[in-house]
Amino acid sequence: MSEVSRRKLFGMAGAGAALVGTGAAVGFGIDRLNGGNPAQAAVTTVPFHGEHQAGIVTPAQPNLHFAALDVKTKDREKLVKLLRTWTEAAKRMTAGAEVVPGGAYGGAKEAPPGDTGEALDLPASSLTLTIGFGPSLFDDRFGLAAKRPAGLIDLPLFPKDKLDPARGGGDLCIQACADDPQVAVHAIRNLVRLGFGVTEVRWSQLGFGRSSSTSVTQTTPRNLFGFKDGTRNIKAEDTDALRDQVWLTAEDGQPWMAGGSLLVVRRIRMHIETWDREPLAGQEAIIGRTKGSGAPLGQTNEFDEVDLHVGGKDGEKLVAEDAHVRLASHETLNGAKILRRGYNFVDGSDGVGHLEAGLFFLAFNRDTRKQYVPMQQALSAKDAMMEYVQHTGSAHFAIPPGVREGGFWGEGLF
């Protein structure tokens, strides 16, 4: 009774592209009418085209599937062709359609279906797809060395890092965010499938519960330490901060990256069982905020300005020298901010009685050397929170600018 929603959508729109970029809410409402999955009731379509890629300042959707891939060919033309193919596929899927035309099983029975099918009855679900290029893509395979952004460094090993090579690096990345995890998983799977013979999955990560809001229209979510996270995050509405701290321009040295950004990825295991044994006062001192309202210590409400100097009755500063908010604040980092867009995760258990839980940290900045790196150096060296976290995965990607009509992901690079 509902298997044709993705097919019909495209049929109604004539060519599908008519829907792309409009941002209009399209009424599917299948499961909503039937009292089914509320997560599937979301009817929003996020425009694919634009000056910047979607999935950066787009209000953070609640579900993530992130994949890092390696390129298995040295043939530059094959890579370019795949990027063109992926762009068309992403335009379709973010509009709520199948990955390729005719994938809805009306076609030849003798061939594998064009679309794998698990999102066939589901709406667009605010799906965004964001692509990135890792440092290793700029080696000698494709002649891209001269086009590597200066800020796309090989990330240093920070104090206390315990990185798993199976959870780091990658020539390419695709970030899929959506209101429904099945829509995000479907998108990654079908892009990976289109890449057979050219790319293969290096590692992948699911996440939920967006650990930061990216718009003033969203309430601040809580991470798995139970604290509101990202209160001071750069928001979509703060155009000055985006201009200064997120988007690259030609002056950053690589004109093809103008309108793009740099993405730092860190898989941060949280030792939640240990954290949960810490008294409330201790938790709040480590963070530098109250757990209930999220107000900075010494203040009343979540969005009150952080005052790093306010003293308590004993003369000690209320926000401790090793508090997370102090060390991560732009006041102590020469004004540096980042745009965080991470997710919580639970990857089963660790085999010794604990949940394998944490924060999959995703942060966009303009120059990682001047923003993320000094921030993380301060945190990994001094943050009281380091007793409860461990960085187990790390990657870095150049996020090219958005795609114009008729263009393709990373066109300016090739």
Q: How far apart are CA 142 and CA 75, in angstroms?
A: 7
Closer residue to a copy of itself, CB minimum distance, 262 or 286: 286
Closer residue to a copy of itself, CB minimum distance, 170 or 410: 170
Q: Return the beta strands (E) in 256-342 as ranges.
A: 261-270, 339-340
Q: How far is the CB of 80 from a copy of itself (least distance, A)?
A: 21
Q: How far is the CB of 109 from a copy of itself (least distance, A)?
A: 4
Q: How far is the CB of 35 from a copy of itself (least distance, A)?
A: 5
Closer residue to a copy of itself, CB minimum distance, 160 or 193: 193
Q: How far is the CB of 254 from a copy of itself (least distance, A)?
A: 30
For 64, which DSSP code? E
Closer residue to a copy of itself, CB minimum distance, 41 or 263: 41
Closer residue to a copy of itself, CB minimum distance, 276 or 331: 276
- Using DSSP's 3-state secondary structure scheme, residue 32 falls into helix
Q: How far is the CB of 105 from a copy of itself (least distance, A)?
A: 4
Answer for the pair 3, 121: CB distance below 8 angstroms, yes or no.
yes
Closer residue to a copy of itself, CB minimum distance, 51 or 276: 276
Q: How far is the CB of 165 from a copy of itself (least distance, A)?
A: 10
| DSSP result, 233-258 | ---TT-HHHHHHHT---GGGS-GGGT
Answer for the pair 319, 288: CB distance below 8 angstroms, yes or no.
yes
For 310, which DSSP code? -
CA 380 to chain centre: 22
Instruction: Give per-residue burial for 12-40: e unless 16+ CB within 10 Å, then b.
Output: ebeebbebbbeeeebebebbbeeeeeebb
Phi, psi of 172 (to 5 degrees): -140, 160
